[in-house]
A and B are shown apart, each in its own frame.
Chain A
């Protein structure tokens, strides 16, 4: 779909520019700007409140557990007062990484298909259908993973269970696919047509135009799409918990039941005493989850900046 050029509502009474009117406009602008700024601050405030909320309880963990044990030990046996969270931290990285490895190339190609190659009539039908996928509750994804994907994995690999990093990543990849695809698709379509036409006019093939012109121009939006997809993958809980196996052990194979930060929190938090070290450790893991995603976002942003400077 091409961008529609909006009608410019021409200034209706250009001559009557009294100082009162100018003052009113300036005031209007000022207050609007203030309104927008305070909204932005509020959004950040929510995050900070959340960080504080998790940290306040989480930090109490370290009264009873050495910091080194929490971060470096793989022994999570709260019954025996062992609180090593390394399994879950590594699990979160592994699942998120694998999910992106599967989902990003496919989503990008799908977005290119929708934005550039497919007949627009088809794209216009497909887009709302993709949006539909976002609305499917994660429990449905989890249930389908449990009843369709895992038996299939079992049949293909011959393993006894099928739960694990691979199953979780595949389910998550399906879940983030529409998000990444649709936002990239929007970014691709926002690339000014004259760039594309210019490239074609210079005799570039479609492949060259896409890799040389369209992708770089839409880079910012695509990074945005990947970040949002990654964010959802890190934070998704209800679906992951149904297919990961929920066992606090290091996954040395893609098919071994393991656990990630979110799944461990949701499995155990409802069942632990409020003021226990265990409860605190789970909050610390929640805080960690936030910290990890902030870190990953920071890294992506830095890489992006480096890329821009190099180009």
Chain B
């Protein structure tokens, strides 16, 4: 099931991953200390639906445990 970007950003904040919103474009940048930047699709702003496939790629890049992230996303109001 897809998750809202708002939820995902809150979870990522727990891991020290910060969001940078460019002045234009439909992606936001994600940054964490010691890691290269990644991007997240944000064409509908905070309401953007984020797929499992995206979360898989994100977790792979930032070396996060996918099941933990998904669990946090499901549990978060």
Is chain B a partner of chain A in the same complex? no
- Interface of B toward A, CB cutoff 8 Å: none
